[in-house]
Amino acid sequence: MNNWLIAFEIYFLGFIIAVVMAAMIKVMLIVIRRLSPPEKAAEKNEGGSA
């Protein structure tokens, strides 16, 4: 198999995985914040201290 082709395929796969990871990070942050937004955490703290 052509060496440049091997290199290009590895790079291409790496790029895809990197983009997927970046998208996963964005989605993950949205989901976490929707499930437990910062205001809910602040309310819990206020309730606790009262």
Partner 1 sequence: MNLADLFQGVGTFFYQEPKIAIARVVLIFLGIFLVYLGKKGTLEPLIMIPMGFGMSAVNAGVLFLDGQKHLEIGTIFMDPLETDTTGLMDILQIDFLQPIYTFTFSNGLIACLVFMGIGVISDVGNLLRFPFTSMLIAMFAELGTILTFPIARAMGLSLGEAASIAVVGGADGPMVLFTSMLLANDLFVPITIIAYLYLSLCYGGYPFLIRLLIPKELRGVAVKSAKKTDISSKEKIIFDVVACTLLCLLFPMAAPLFLCFFLGNAIKESGVFKYMQLLEDVFLYASTFFLGLLLGVLCEGSTLLDPLILKLLVLGMLALALAGVGGIIGGYVVYFINGKKFNPTIGIAGVSCVPTTAKVAQKEVQKANKRVVVLQYAMGACICGVITSAILTGLYVSIIPLLQ
Q: Is 30 in the site for partner 1 (CB under 8 A)?
A: no
Site for partner 1 in 10-29 (CB under 8 A): 10-11, 13-15, 17-19, 21-26, 28-29
Q: Is 42 in the site for partner 1 (CB under 8 A)?
A: no
CB-wise, 34 or 50, nearer to partner 1?
A: 34
Which 8-state DSSP code applies to residue 36?
Answer: S
Residue in the structure block whose two tokens are 């895809």: 16
Element at 11 (helix H, strand E): helix 3-35
Query: Which chain residues interact with partner 1 by CB under 8 A?
Result: 1, 3-4, 6-11, 13-15, 17-19, 21-26, 28-29, 32
